[in-house]
Amino acid sequence: MTPLDRGLDKARVLIEALPYIQKFAGKTVVIKYGGHAMLEQDLKEKVMLDLLLLHSVGIRPVVVHGGGPEINSMLTKVGKESHFIRGLRVTDKETMEIAAMVLVGKLNTDIVSMLNRFGGKAVGLSGMDAQLLQAVKKPMQMQNSQGELEDVDLGFVGEVEQVRPGILTTLLEQGYVPVISPLAGGEDGESYNINADTAAGEIAKALKADKFLLLTDVPGVLRDVENHDSLISVIEEKEIPKLVEEGVISGGMIPKVECAQEALQGGVGSVHILDGRIPHAILLELFTDGGIGTMFQP
């Protein structure tokens, strides 16, 4: 293959991407970034490059990141033990402070730093900046030994009460890529930890985003969980209840799908659950026919 032939091959690929680029130009895409794609250096770099490519062809990406494993490591490092209720970490003041430090001071800063090193214009935010996310304490009840329902205090675990997307609009209009840590301020002046999927969904709704992508560690919704070739590429919102009933959507997929459903109902164009373990998952989802994950549409 001569260099010219190689060049022509590349030109052909670029031209094949043109209809996708034209279709998505000016669209706002919210990406929940987490899981393996955030832990392995190589996948991480590829996510960054995907984001920058989207940005460079006129798409407006907004990143919301998670970070459970790193928070765990740091808690361990400072000798802080964790206590869980129904899978939710009881978050006392000190835990909250450490979570904030890891999310905002380490993970967010790393993402911003890497995007900018590759030529981007990223700006890190937490939900506290410009009062982007406002939270209330997440209520929870459990049966006590007498079988009565009792309030349980999870500490600084919050639910999103209001989103003020003004700062995002300002940044997007100036060509910046916002990278957001899932913290929120409460009216009580406290900081709250927010589930990253939920935070991303709420932000997608507030921005009336065209697309909301959830990077996960599963291939998408499989009709037969044992068979990766049974991936369902497109699910319409009205099909969801039946799929839940049939057990196709089950387990850890349920909260993801609920999150997707709420986003669709809030005006988001489509929601995509995709496998962040595949390199360039974002590009593959947006720029190839059919994509690689499961797309939920209204």
Query: Which of 72, 113, 162, 297 is in the footprint of a second copy by CB under 8 A?
Result: 113
Q: 196 vs 263, which CB is nearer to a second copy? A: 196
Cβ contacts of 101 within 8 Å, gap of 6 or more: 74
CB of 251 to a second copy, least distance (A): 25
Q: 249 vs 286, which CB is nearer to a second copy? A: 286
CB of 293 to a second copy, least distance (A): 12
Of residues 140-159, those binding a second copy (CB under 8 A): none
CA atoms within 13 A on the CB side of 130: 14
| 223 binds a second copy per the rule CB under 8 A | no
282's tokens: 């974002």
Q: How far out from the chain centre does Cα 114 lie? A: 18
265's tokens: 């109902």
Of residues 78-107, those binding a second copy (CB under 8 A): 78, 97, 100-106
Query: Which of 41, 77, 226, 229 is in the footprint of a second copy by CB under 8 A?
Result: 77
Binding characters for a second copy, 256-285, by CB under 8 A (x = yes): ----------------------xxx--xx-
Interatomic CA distance for residues 238 and 257, integer angstroms:
12
143's tokens: 């049966």
| 49 binds a second copy per the rule CB under 8 A | yes
Q: Which amino acid is at 229?
A: D
Give the residue ranges of the annotated binding site.
67-68, 89, 193
- Three-point CA angle 153, 254, 100, nearest 5°: 45
Interatomic CA distance for residues 77 and 96, integer angstroms:
15
Query: Which of 73, 82, 85, 117 is in the footprint of a second copy by CB under 8 A?
Result: 117
| 1 binds a second copy per the rule CB under 8 A | no
Interatomic CA distance for residues 167 and 165, integer angstroms:
6
184's tokens: 């929120």
| 167 binds a second copy per the rule CB under 8 A | yes
Across 107-116, b (16+ Cβ under 10 Å) vs e yields bbebbbebbe
CB of 86 to a second copy, least distance (A): 27
Interatomic CA distance for residues 76 and 78, integer angstroms:
5
Angle between helices 196-206 and 253-265 (to 10 degrees): 10
CB of 280 to a second copy, least distance (A): 4
Interatomic CA distance for residues 114 and 111, integer angstroms:
5
H-helix or E-strand spanning residue 153: none
- # residues contacting a second copy (CB under 8 A): 72
Give the residue ranges of the annotated binding site for substrate.
67-68, 89, 193
Scanning 30-38, 127-135, 195-203, 238-246 for contacts with a second copy by CB under 8 A, the matching segment is 127-135
Q: 22 vs 82, which CB is nearer to a second copy? A: 22
Of residues 182-211, those binding a second copy (CB under 8 A): 183, 185, 189, 191
CB of 11 to a second copy, least distance (A): 4
CB of 160 to a second copy, least distance (A): 16
Interatomic CA distance for residues 50 and 52, integer angstroms:
5
Scanning 5-13, 135-143, 194-202, 242-250 for contacts with a second copy by CB under 8 A, the matching segment is 5-13
